[in-house]
Chain A
Amino acid sequence: MLRLPFRRLALGLVFTTMLASCDVLNQDPPMNFTIDDTFADATRIQSSLYGVYDGLQNAEFLGGRALIYSDIRGGDTDVPTQYFGNVPLFQMLSTDAYASGAWTGGYQTVFAANSFIQNLAANASKVTPAQAAQYTAEARAVRALTYFHLVNLFAQPYSFTANGSHLGVPLQLTAATGATEAFESLPARATVNEVYDQIIKDLTESIPALPTTNSDDFARVARMTRGAAQALLARVYLFKGDYEKAGTAAQAVISSGLYSLDADPQTPFDTYTTKESIFSVAMNIQDNPNTNNAIGQHYGRDRRADIPISAYLALPTSIFPAGDKRRTMVELTDSNIPFTSKFTTVDTWVPMIRYPEVLLTHAEALTLQNNSVTPAAVADLNLVRDRSKAAGTASYTVGSFATAADLLTAIRNERRVELAFEGFRLYDLLRYKQGVPAHGIVPAIPYGDNRLIFPIPNADVLRNPNLVQNPGY
């Protein structure tokens, strides 16, 4: 008698639970914002700007590797096949993973800059006009720096054809906002000249909006400043062969009075925010390109130790005099294999622009522009050389150089020694219209050889029919 009602009660209970609904479809991602969220107010916009620099830390590109590719193929390091495989051997195939990593990494940095510029434009009212202009300028300067490395890694140097009319890299100046746009973006390669024009445009238009300096040390070196953009512009003009403008841009940095050399050439690699460092990609122990990509991992004796530098120390004393302080910027293993002391830890900052480069650019530009030995050029060269030269060695005077060509050689030798392992060597050789001399097990690779530049990754050539592969790959 009691059974039926109880049964119904039980059934009722089951039905009640069945009808209770759960909202399982509305999921808020615990680790994410929408883009609108990140541009909601001035504070978050500033954080979004740091996202651009986060992009610059790309482990496959300017977080370290992009600099390494220039040096390990320039002959002044040993030939590190052990980690970098066919890259230093100049026998890469178009399926090479390093080429593909660099290409992808570089364009990811460009994306970070582009998307910030776009989204800031849409939310400009939330910051002051001055802030909007400065932030945009910083992002454009980051983009310019990235394109400079992309075009030099994947294309022949500017001087390869008259007016840089040969193929450069695709110019991607907007960021896709959705899937369709991303998949349908199939750009062709711009010419090298077009890429240089874009870099120059970005830098020139950024310079007025960038701060000359910054109150805190971190921002002064780890963020783009007017000096950084001017220094980069000087480099770009030098590579383009426009020596007058290179000289002017370098002079602007020098005249600012904000930068000076440390007494010891090792100092800027231990203390990242001295006045010698104009712009570096910052790292710390929580945020770095990891143990397989960081520049300090590859070069550090006590880390991965992939890249010994005996070739650097073996430079003839006519180029790298005995007793030069920079010969001591070395860490030796138990079996006397030398490694550089510039980059030694996983969180080493990656130097992008140091003051010595600006001085040497200025000197080189003046010398090339005037085709004469100018006191100003000699003075710049001395500034860099004197702090490292062997005790008892005299400074240069104008009289030290019989011809402009002699001075040019001295400037370029100084550049080679001072900026070693900072991503210049191969690009400088190509700029000088020189190939890579035979070194170690690598035969001489003549100027103009296809192998001097990276292949466009095969996967991308397959995906994008407009993308033309470099010859020989």
Chain B
Amino acid sequence: MKKILLMSVLLMITLLQQVSAQTRSLSGRVTDRQTGTGLPGVTVLIKGTTNGVSTNSDGNYTISATSGNVLVFSSIGYVSQEKPVGDEAQINIGLSPDTKTLNEVVVSGYGIRQEVKDLTGSVAQVEERALLTQPVQSVDQALTGRMSGVQVTNSGGALGDQAAVRIRGANSISGSSQPLYVVDGVPLSTVDNANVFNGGDGTRFNPLATINPNDIESVQVLKDASASAIYGSRAANGVILINTKRGRSGQSQLSINSFVGVYQATRKPKLLNGDDFITIMNEKAQNNPRITNKTIASNVDVNGDGQPDRTNWMDEIFRDGFAQNYQVSLSGGNDKATYYGSADYSDQKGILYQNRLRRGSTRLNLDLTPKKWLKAGISVNYSQTENQGVLTDRYLAGATVSGYAAPPNVPVYGADGFYYLNGAGNLGTGANTTSNYVFAISNPTAVLDLQRNANTARRLLTNGYVTVEPLQGLRVTSKLGLDYLDNFEDQYSDARISGLGRSFDGLVQNNRLDVFQYNWQNFANYSTIIGEKHELNATVGLEYQQLNRTELYTGASGIADPKFNAILDGLFSGDALAGGVQLGNGFRSYYGTASYVYGNKYYVTGTVRADADSRFGAQNQTGYFPAGSVGWRISEESFMESIRPVLSDLKLRASYGRVGNSNGIGSYAARTLAGGGQYASANGFAITQIGNDALQWETSKKLDVGLDAALVKERINLTVDYFRNDIDGLLLNAPTPSTAGIPSGIIARNVGSMRNQGFEFNVNTTNITTESGFRWTSTLNFTTLKNKVQELVTPTDLVSGNNRASIGRRLGVYQLVRWAGVNPENGNAQFLDANGNVKQYDAAAQRWLTATGETTTAITQADAVYTNKSGYPTYYGGFDNLFSFKGIELGIFLQYSGGNEIYNATRAGLLTNSFSNNLAEVKDRWTQPGQQTDIPKLVYLDAVSTQASTRWLEKGDFLRARQINLGYNLPENLSQRIGVARARIYGQVQNAFVITKYKVGDPEVNSNRNSSNIAYGIDNRSVPQTRAYTLGINFTL
């Protein structure tokens, strides 16, 4: 072996001199087989050697060759062709475009490219079709249901919200289980939400929305340790690689993509109308013996039209949204330079009244090859996004909080034409005579009209690289990525309505968030083929990354007039407010990977990475992350030859490795910090954080065993994986016992270990192809997932709301009091105590009774038991079908998920006994002895009967028609007549329907967003999901 290696190095050195004594000159032209135009930049190589040339701008080439040589013509985007050299002086050839080529290569960063057929790790990908011109705000939302092992949960229809992405389950219980996003080889700065007002719970803005999904060529997800180990400490939650489009040599083209669409809210809660509301509220009062005034709700006629006032608040807060999206892109190039440039404008008006998101962005990706041994390029992407946000679920004035609770028997506007308000700036009370509203209900329309919760995000995302090839097969690259995000948050609170504005006589608050991250990578890649059969690839490198975050806050109170709702000189009289935040963290890494392939048959890969992160204790800053994989392409074995017509490709692969996670902890998490402890006018210092010297990486040991097969002339492509992730040292901002009094109540800590395991299936099939051109293909993906918490360092469970991390149980298991239905005799709510005995609550008398009516002790949290479900689905997937016939394409994409239970706090909150609108289902409440119902007798202000219990747990299973798309590709003669090379028009319905037993709202929900992995899958007044009808065009000139 050693000798061969040495010889080949010598051989290469000789080749470099390009000595050519016995050869003759051969020329020719390479053209696009479809258009007939010359193709520049096509590599023409003599097979078995490294001797080759590129075509010039017209597609012409000249090469020295001898008879018997074989020329290989290859170019990205085209199917490669081989041509034996005979005696001719000219070889002309036409190449066919290959739309699949790009997706068959995985570019996992650091210059590492691998053909999909050679993968020994687990990688999933999404093709451009699923990304282009989708009615989404950010790319994460478009990934829903597309890939096995990748679960994407859209938390609702508020624009700019982040989707929760969980790759092979929740692999951390820290604040973030979000994967690492890498754009064109450069990791993005991790900012889940660029908005900071209201603790980030007011309006949210996902910085991923700054990237135009139409610029994306492919999205690839690295799922197992082998594939993702090159990202070491950041890979535990998986890695999402986003590659933007780049120019191709010889293909100058202009593309125009556009769509318009209408958005509608789906599965809105059905609430009581005015008449029913009055009946129900007064019945509540009637049933409470302590209420003397039994008529708490009555009609009012504020506008004096002689009719009682009625408002359907759902119609006030929801609307039909409208979206428009335009993108123009140019791409092309020659053998020296290729380019891709684009500009886009997108304007989406969401389903919530006043919610709007506009984005304009430009991109230029430029690659230069001035010398054969030198390549350099830059990518520049600037985007500006203006988001007109709407307060929703966690804010009393929020559209889905006040909007759902508002009494339907009062008007939107008062007699004076202004919003109907009471003295405290909340919704007017009409003739309703109680002061015991469920909470201070705002006038939802006034809040949406008068308040402003906007942000403008500007992001400059650039990278540049230089690659030098000093020796054939050795590439040395230096790459610098800069990610600059500036988010200007602008909030105005009007003095006329309750909230901040009233408290400050009109308040404007601005926050400028400035996040800058640089990432500098230096790496060397070496690849060689030794002999015919030994293929060797190796990469070594180092990487530095630093992130700095600055926030500057200012505010003005006592606004002169609502017109001047900005911070303007001389136009506010109250106090000015100011503040700011600064932090930074750094990251350094050394890494190497090597792979060896023997004869396209046997594969071995090894990777190791040493990462150091400033956030950990000095002793624990560095972590080592090794991984390895093996593969065996059985189909290449000679004994398989006989069945090759049926089984054309069969590969077994296995990988194992250790990757890490440091997401979700603060920049200085390991340290004890003292900081600002201001006491009114006196500056003070106080301890702000107790540190944890022992804090270290969370590590994930990942095993993957998989099989790839192609059957029946590649009409069936099958991928099956078994995976197991053993996560140790789970990071959590762990709550300390409150009596310790720790500032903010948490200390970052490694709290335990957990296992995720499951199976993934992915099947691509060509179901039908007929002579006439009809074709039906489908892709089915299916993932099963089992999770178990194996170890905790705490003596007891980790608690988050009603959910627990508990040893031996799945993460997020519910611990709840068991609901035992309604006593048909008296309408009392019944629960089970810890021993399974029924206890009923007599709300009118405020006492607990046994099943037989004896007075007893209360049901308490000591009676809560574990359920066997959590909010995490145990299976999920997607089923995509594409039917095509003579240019007509019909795509039907179904998405499904299940095996989980959702705590429906929306439903609980809309079935209270307070003064608040209820779900229409409350009409089934108990009213007479013997009645079988699940809604107890209504007793005004009784909160005990409606307490948290298994009553509010619901199955989260659903099947969604995620996309139905009908497209038509104009025949070439027709499109060329209008001067267009290719033209496609299409209509699409996104989220056409959902089949589910979930009672109120949509089961694809996660109200806690990314703030808790323990209390995952809770529904608490989440914004309904959007249904989008779009019409679009794709033109290529």
**A→B interface (CB under 8 Å):** 7-8, 10-11, 14-15, 17-18, 21-27, 29-35, 37-38, 44, 47-55, 57, 78-79, 81-83, 85-86, 89, 91, 93-95, 100, 103-104, 107-112, 114-115, 170, 172, 175-180, 182-183, 185-187, 218, 222, 282-287, 291, 297, 300, 302-306, 308, 333-335, 337, 346, 438, 441-443, 457-465, 467, 469, 472-473
- Chain A min CB distance to B791 (Å): 15
Question: Does B193 belong to the interface (CB within 8 Å)?
Answer: no
- Chain A min CB distance to B483 (Å): 15
The reply to whether A91 and B944 contact each other, CB–CB distance below 8 Å, is yes
Contact for A175 among B424, B477, B741, B941, CB less than 8 A = B741
Chain B, residues 665-692, CB within 8 Å of chain A (1/0): the string is 0011001111111111111111110111
- With a cutoff of 8 Å between Cβ atoms, the chain B residues found around residue A18 in the complex are 478, 522, 542
- With a cutoff of 8 Å between Cβ atoms, the chain B residues found around residue A57 in the complex are 679-680
The reply to whether B681 and A282 contact each other, CB–CB distance below 8 Å, is yes
- With a cutoff of 8 Å between Cβ atoms, the chain B residues found around residue A177 in the complex are 672, 690
Residue in A closest to B501 when the chains form the complex, CB atoms: A291
* Beyond known contacts A11-B476, A179-B749: 6 more, CB 8 A cutoff: A22-B544, A30-B582, A47-B677, A107-B740, A182-B690, A186-B795
Question: Does B694 belong to the interface (CB within 8 Å)?
Answer: yes
- Chain B min CB distance to A284 (Å): 5
Question: Does B736 belong to the interface (CB within 8 Å)?
Answer: yes
- With a cutoff of 8 Å between Cβ atoms, the chain A residues found around residue B290 in the complex are 438, 441-443
- With a cutoff of 8 Å between Cβ atoms, the chain B residues found around residue A11 in the complex are 468, 470, 476
The reply to whether A32 and B668 contact each other, CB–CB distance below 8 Å, is yes
The reply to whether B947 and A22 contact each other, CB–CB distance below 8 Å, is no
Bound complex: CA A306 to CA B424 (Å): 9
Contact for A112 among B614, B667, B686, B747, CB less than 8 A = B686
Bound complex: CA A463 to CA B797 (Å): 7
The reply to whether A287 and B679 contact each other, CB–CB distance below 8 Å, is yes
Name the interface size band of chain B: 35 or more
Would you give 13 A-B contacts (Cβ < 8 Å), ordered by A? A24-B546, A24-B586, A25-B613, A53-B682, A81-B941, A82-B436, A93-B943, A93-B944, A104-B738, A108-B742, A183-B749, A183-B793, A464-B737
The reply to whether A282 and B679 contact each other, CB–CB distance below 8 Å, is yes
Contact for B503 among A48, A114, A179, A291, CB less than 8 A = A291
The reply to whether B435 and A286 contact each other, CB–CB distance below 8 Å, is no
Question: Does B373 belong to the interface (CB within 8 Å)?
Answer: yes
The reply to whether B584 and A48 contact each other, CB–CB distance below 8 Å, is no
The reply to whether B684 and A114 contact each other, CB–CB distance below 8 Å, is no
Question: Does B498 belong to the interface (CB within 8 Å)?
Answer: yes
- With a cutoff of 8 Å between Cβ atoms, the chain B residues found around residue A44 in the complex are 685
The reply to whether A47 and B683 contact each other, CB–CB distance below 8 Å, is yes
- With a cutoff of 8 Å between Cβ atoms, the chain A residues found around residue B575 in the complex are 285
The reply to whether B799 and A463 contact each other, CB–CB distance below 8 Å, is yes
The reply to whether B943 and A114 contact each other, CB–CB distance below 8 Å, is no
**B→A interface (CB under 8 Å):** 288, 290-291, 373-374, 422-424, 435-440, 466, 468, 470, 476-478, 498-500, 502-504, 520, 522, 542, 544-546, 575, 577, 581-588, 612-614, 621, 667-668, 671-688, 690-695, 734-743, 745, 747, 749, 793-797, 799, 846, 857-858, 860-862, 914, 940-944, 947-948
Residue in B closest to A310 when the chains form the complex, CB atoms: B435
- Chain A min CB distance to B370 (Å): 11
The winner among B373, B942, B948 for most chain A CB atoms within 10 A is: B373
Bound complex: CA A78 to CA B500 (Å): 23
The winner among B585, B694, B861 for most chain A CB atoms within 10 A is: B861
- With a cutoff of 8 Å between Cβ atoms, the chain A residues found around residue B520 in the complex are 22
Residue in B closest to A112 when the chains form the complex, CB atoms: B686
Bound complex: CA A464 to CA B613 (Å): 33
- With a cutoff of 8 Å between Cβ atoms, the chain B residues found around residue A287 in the complex are 678-680
The reply to whether B941 and A441 contact each other, CB–CB distance below 8 Å, is yes
- Chain A min CB distance to B640 (Å): 45
Contact for B667 among A27, A182, A283, A333, CB less than 8 A = A27
- With a cutoff of 8 Å between Cβ atoms, the chain A residues found around residue B440 in the complex are 82-83, 304, 306
- With a cutoff of 8 Å between Cβ atoms, the chain B residues found around residue A94 in the complex are 860-861
The reply to whether A22 and B737 contact each other, CB–CB distance below 8 Å, is no
Contact for A55 among B581, B614, B686, CB less than 8 A = B686
Contact flag A30-B583 (CB < 8 Å), given A8-B470, A22-B546, A187-B739: yes
Contact for B741 among A83, A111, A333, A469, CB less than 8 A = A111
Task: Give me the 6 closest cross-chain CB pairs, A-B, nearest first.
Answer: A111-B741, A50-B684, A24-B586, A51-B686, A51-B677, A179-B692
The reply to whether A15 and B476 contact each other, CB–CB distance below 8 Å, is yes
- With a cutoff of 8 Å between Cβ atoms, the chain A residues found around residue B682 in the complex are 47, 50, 53, 218
The reply to whether A49 and B684 contact each other, CB–CB distance below 8 Å, is yes
- Chain B min CB distance to A81 (Å): 5
- With a cutoff of 8 Å between Cβ atoms, the chain A residues found around residue B477 in the complex are 14
The winner among A187, A441, A467 for most chain B CB atoms within 10 A is: A441
Contact flag A26-B614 (CB < 8 Å), given A44-B685, A50-B684: yes
Residue in B closest to A284 when the chains form the complex, CB atoms: B680
Residue in B closest to A22 when the chains form the complex, CB atoms: B544
Contact for A50 among B675, B679, B796, CB less than 8 A = B679
- With a cutoff of 8 Å between Cβ atoms, the chain B residues found around residue A17 in the complex are 478, 522
The reply to whether A172 and B741 contact each other, CB–CB distance below 8 Å, is yes
Bound complex: CA A167 to CA B374 (Å): 78
Contact flag A469-B742 (CB < 8 Å), given A48-B686, A91-B944, A178-B692: no
The reply to whether A291 and B686 contact each other, CB–CB distance below 8 Å, is no
- Chain B min CB distance to A308 (Å): 7
- With a cutoff of 8 Å between Cβ atoms, the chain A residues found around residue B942 in the complex are 91
Contact flag A109-B679 (CB < 8 Å), given A30-B583, A51-B685: no
Contact for B583 among A31, A175, A438, A443, CB less than 8 A = A31
- With a cutoff of 8 Å between Cβ atoms, the chain B residues found around residue A31 in the complex are 581-583, 675-676
Bound complex: CA A174 to CA B675 (Å): 20
- With a cutoff of 8 Å between Cβ atoms, the chain B residues found around residue A462 in the complex are 796-797, 799, 861
Residue in A closest to B544 when the chains form the complex, CB atoms: A22
Contact for B737 among A55, A86, A186, CB less than 8 A = A186
